[in-house]
Amino acid sequence: MDFDLSDEQRMLQDSVRRLLAEQCSFEQRHAMHADPAKAAALWRQFAELGLLGLPFTDADGGFGGGAVETCIVMQELGRALAPLPYFSTVVVCGALLRAAASADVRARLVPAIAAGDLTLAFAHSETQARYDLADVRTTARREGAGWVLDGDKRFVLGGDTAQQLIVSARVGSDIALFLVDAAQPGVSRRGYAMQDGGRCADLRLSALRVADDAMLGEPGAALAAIERATDEAIAALCADSVGAMAQALDLTMEYLKVRKQFGVAIGSFQALQNRAVDMLVATEQARSMALYATMMCGDPDADERRRAISAAKVQVNNSGRFVTQEAVQLHGGIGMTEECQVGHYLRHMTMNDLMFGDTAHHLRRLARAGGLIAA
Amino acid sequence: MDLRFTDEEIAFREEVRAFFRQALPADIRRKAELGQRISKPEMLRWVRILHDKGWATPSWAPEWGGTGWDPVKQYIFKEELHMAPAPEPISFNMNMIGPTLIAFGTEEQKRHFLPKIARMDYWFCQGFSEPGAGSDLAALRTTALREGDHYVVNGQKLWTSTAHHADWCFLLVRTDPAAKKQQGITYLLMDMKSPGVTIRPIVTIDGHHETNEMFLDKVRIPLANLVGEENKGWDCAKYLLGHERSGIARVGVSKMRVRRAKQLAAQVMSEGRPLIEDERFLEKVALFEVELKALEITQMRLISEIGKRDDKLPDPKSSILKIKGTQLQQASAELLMEVAGYSAMEFDPAFVSGLHSDADADEWALTLAPNHYWARHVSIVGGSNEIQRNILAKTVLGL
């Protein structure tokens, strides 16, 4: 058992943390939300550092990183609340490309992703599906040598600006994945901001025609690929949440030391110290489960993997909600304001909580699978 | 980074499990499964089996009978012990006075006491707390005055668990009333047969007698039984805090209880079907298992951090394990009780104490409520969880 990062992993962590500390302060973040060109500059620097090609093999044109490397980057992104399409493009679509796409397709797309020239989004969720990954009503039917897609996709992360989309659609009773140019006729999209400033879109696909080779992999294999990519995404999301809650905790500790009431720093009050310690304990519990998810998200045993991922999501959600809510409480009134950082962590954590299955969903899934301890 | 156990560690776990399966006497295993307390002869019988195997004192220095296992193996051993389920050898002997003597005892004390402590030829109890000295242990007032080659000790100790079984007691006394609180305290070894030692039993809310009050009236203790230096006893007492943390969270105890809760829930009927099929129950169990898994990994992380430090000093973060571990021990005891429903109502303290069996009753349920009450003590002893929070606030959060 070894919990240490390698020297290379430590360097990766340092360089991402340093970059974000310099380029993604609270004020800079604010400016990026107002002016996407500023975020594009940071994205360019991510490409230069090799972060965008990180989870792809050398053969695909990437840098051969694994789940640990992805989670290192995600933890720093969560800590900095960085408004970049890293999760949607590199993590989610990256995992889908690894799980479903042919080597040829990867050889075409990965170098462009790594260079920062291509963003992708996964168009999968639908209104009726909630968190059920298998509930897809969008259809793909044969027409000539190609396919015609029809349906509505919702909550597509990064979908408002992504250049290409990976769209799930039903082919008969199977689900298939298609690579679609977002600017193509037949795709209309409504982009919107999420609670934490992240970007999302709802899509309407009407008589969208794609070529035969737009399909990624085989229809029968797509659901397993989606499940696998989702589990990898959840592990990365857990790391992001840990970064966010750890930063919320740090900010709160700083505040308790400087804020004075009754003539003393409020951190000297035992009532607040005890709450702060409970935040620490919750953060460490979440950190442990995020590590567990990182380790398990590539496990070939889908049942084991699923249980571990659901367990991690439950713990990280619960810890994250508790820590960020307490962070606002311990800040008092100032924590309720837009110009105080800490509330933005509550908003971000609320999004992470919902994404790819909330606590109730994953607890149910874990319980139905028999839990973690055999009777 | 690799969170998996190594092949060697997995093989070690198998070896330990196989040994417990073969060597743990069936009657003792049965009592442990039913949640009954074991008697003094049963404890001694089990400890001697472990001792013959060389496994009674894994954490001790190898030259004094330790196994030389690294912290991960010690953790695996503890977990398998708890899950067997087997009684844990008396902590006062194995985790407290043994390591303290190894660190602070004279050669003569070590040679005389350590082998007897390891085999439990001497059963030790702890004389620390007093009516006015609980969380504020340094407020203790029991005095020891030198008279020739003896100390003469007067005072009252409280929560002296297993004193009624014990042959010896490790004792904190005040030798310099003028010194500041933590100074002026001395660590002594007291023969429980000494004239002037009076034990009064305290029955706890689980109906069981494990702990006591102890009155010390002009008890004479030879100077040879001084541990460390006079007035430096606080250092000896403090030495253990933060050490011996490999089992502090008692993950194995909680795991064993969840496993048993699931087994019992497969037999208990609710609304016409086994309770184990109730989705609400399963989700409650699953939520508990998530927290326990997180704690297990948190514990391994801390063990590996501490193992890498040159100074091997206690890590204040181990207070996290105490807080979360005790919360989960309590939650698991409560969960197990809830499975029983009405069957948890019958109060039979003699059964809990392991003094008789009761085939007419729901034997499997008789200890569940008392053990839930008893579990309330884990967040109070060994530095209450509130004290642990104070430690963390100060040392880790810098408040």
Q: What residues in A contact B10, CB-CB < 8 Å? A: none
Flag whether residue A58 sits within 8 Å of chain B, measured between CB atoms: no
Q: Residue B389: which of A3, A273, A295 has the nearest Cβ?
A: A273
Sign of the torsion angle spanned by Cα atoms B247, B248, B250, B251: negative
Judged against a pLDDT cut of 60, whether residue B244 lies above it is answered with no
Rounded to 10°, the helix B279-308/A270-296 angle is 90
Residue B300: helix, strand or coil by DSSP?
A: helix
Flag whether residue A277 sits within 8 Å of chain B, measured between CB atoms: yes
Contact B5 A292 (CB under 8 A): no
Contact B297 A289 (CB under 8 A): yes
Mean pLDDT of B376-383: 93
Q: Which two tokens stand for residue A306?
A: 């699923």
Select the residue from A288, A296, A301, A315 to test the B interface by mutation, using most B Cβ atoms within 10 A.
A288
Domain boundary among A198, A217, A236: A217
Residue of B80, B244, B296, B334 marked catalytic: B244
What pLDDT score does B374 carry? 97
What pLDDT score does B246 carry? 61
Mean pLDDT of A238-259: 98
Same domain, A190 and A239: no
State how many domains chain A has: 3
Q: Residue B397: which of A6, A68, A276 has the nearest Cβ?
A: A276
Give tens-digit pLDDT for A90-144: 999 999 999 999 999 999 999 999 999 999 999 999 999 999 999 999 999 999 9
Q: Residue B290: which of A68, A294, A311 has the nearest Cβ?
A: A311
What pLDDT score does B304 carry? 81
Give tens-digit pLDDT for A351-364: 999 999 999 999 99
Residue A29 falls inside a structural domain: yes
What is the band of A263 on the pLDDT scale with cuts at 50, 70, 90?
very high
Judged against a pLDDT cut of 80, whether residue B310 lies above it is answered with no
- Per-chain mean pLDDT for chain A: 96
Give tens-digit pLDDT for A154-179: 999 999 999 999 999 999 999 999 99
Judged against a pLDDT cut of 90, whether residue B241 lies above it is answered with no
Burial A225-242 (b: 16+ CB within 10 A, else e): bbbbbbbbbbbbbbbbbb
In the CATH scheme, what is the code of domain B124-236?
2.40.110.10
CATH code: domain of residue A73 = 1.10.540.10
Q: What residues in A contact B297, CB-CB < 8 Å? A: 288-289, 291-292
Among residues 228-267 of chain A, which lie with CB inside 8 Å of chain B? 253, 256-257, 267
Same domain, A138 and A257: no
Rounded to the nearest angstrom, the minimum Cα separation between A48 and chain B is 26
Beta strands in chain B (DSSP E): 124-127, 143-147, 150-158, 168-174, 185-191, 197-203, 209-222, 226-227, 269-270, 273-274
Give tens-digit pLDDT for B13-56: 999 999 999 999 999 999 999 999 999 999 999 999 999 999 99
Domain that holds residue A339: 221-368
Closest residue in A to B298 (Cα) is A288
Give tens-digit pLDDT for B111-134: 999 999 999 999 999 999 999 999
Sign of the torsion angle spanned by Cα atoms A92, A95, A100, A101: positive
Contact B286 A367 (CB under 8 A): yes
A56 within 8 A of A114, measured Cβ to Cβ: yes
Closest residue in B to A251 (Cα) is B397
Q: How far is CA A331 from CA A255, B131, B170, B228, B374, in A?
A: 7, 39, 47, 48, 38
Residue A373 falls inside a structural domain: no
Contact A277 B393 (CB under 8 A): yes
What is the band of A223 on the pLDDT scale with cuts at 50, 70, 90?
very high
Rounded to the nearest angstrom, the minimum Cα separation between A375 and chain B is 5
Mean pLDDT of A289-313: 96
Domain boundary among A217, A245, A261: A217
Rounded to the nearest angstrom, the minimum Cα separation between B124 and chain A is 34
Select the residue from B75, B293, B326 to test the A interface by mutation, using most A Cβ atoms within 10 A.
B293
A255 within 8 A of A326, measured Cβ to Cβ: no
Residue B275: helix, strand or coil by DSSP?
A: helix
What is the band of A231 on the pLDDT scale with cuts at 50, 70, 90?
very high
Same domain, A347 and A234: yes
Contact B393 A286 (CB under 8 A): no
Contact A277 B304 (CB under 8 A): no
Flag whether residue A372 sits within 8 Å of chain B, measured between CB atoms: yes
Catalytic residue status for B33:
no
Q: Which two tokens stand for residue B153?
A: 């000790």
Flag whether residue A281 sits within 8 Å of chain B, measured between CB atoms: yes
Q: What residues in A contact B386, CB-CB < 8 Å? A: 274
Flag whether residue A358 sits within 8 Å of chain B, measured between CB atoms: no
Mean pLDDT of B344-357: 95
DSSP B104-122: H--HHHHHHHHHHHHTTSS
Domain boundary among A183, A217, A251: A217
B313 versus B139: the higher-pLDDT residue is B139
Contact A3 B3 (CB under 8 A): yes
What pLDDT score does B387 carry? 94
Q: Residue A277: which of B5, B305, B392 has the nearest Cβ?
A: B392
What pLDDT score does B205 carry? 97
CATH code: domain of residue A151 = 2.40.110.10
B306 versus B146: the higher-pLDDT residue is B146
Q: Which two tokens stand for residue A280?
A: 């620490």
Complex ipTM value: 0.96
DSSP annotation of B244: S
% of chain B at pLDDT higher than 90? 87
For residue A186, what are the contacts with CB-CB under 8 A and spacing of at least 6? A149, A205, A206, A207, A208, A209
User: Considering only CA atoms, which of A261, A341, A357 is closest in space to residue A309?
Assistant: A357
Same topology for domains B124-236 and B251-395, yes or no? no
Flag whether residue A295 sits within 8 Å of chain B, measured between CB atoms: yes
Size of interface A-B (CB pairs under 8 A): 143
A3 within 8 A of B3, measured Cβ to Cβ: yes
Residue A374 falls inside a structural domain: no
Phi, psi for residue A4 in degrees, rounded to 5: -85, 145
B79: burial class by Cβ within 10 Å (0-12, 13-18, 19+)? buried
What pLDDT score does B311 carry? 65
Q: What residues in B contact A253, CB-CB < 8 Å? A: 397-399
What pLDDT score does B312 carry? 61
What pLDDT score does B243 carry? 61
Closest residue in A to B72 (Cα) is A1
Q: How far apart are the first and last CA of chain B?
A: 32
Spans of all domains in chain B: 7-89, 124-236, 251-395
Q: Which CATH number fits domain B251-395: 3.30.70.3270, 3.50.50.60, 3.40.1160.10, 1.20.140.10?
A: 1.20.140.10
Q: Residue B3: which of A1, A286, A314 has the nearest Cβ?
A: A1
Q: What residues in A contact B258, CB-CB < 8 Å? A: 373
Q: CA–CA separation, B60 vs B293, rounded Å?
A: 28
DSSP B177-206: TTS-TTTTEEEEEEETTSTTEEEEEEE-TT
DSSP annotation of B130: B
What pLDDT score does B358 carry? 86
Select the residue from A250, A285, A361 to test the B interface by mutation, using most B Cβ atoms within 10 A.
A285
Rounded to the nearest angstrom, the minimum Cα separation between B143 and chain A is 33
Same domain, A162 and A243: no
% of chain A at pLDDT higher than 90? 96
Rounded to the nearest angstrom, the minimum Cα separation between A122 and chain B is 29
A240 within 8 A of A355, measured Cβ to Cβ: no
Q: Residue B297: which of A280, A281, A292 has the nearest Cβ?
A: A292
Same domain, A364 and A226: yes
Q: For strands B226-227 and B185-191, give the pairing.
A: antiparallel
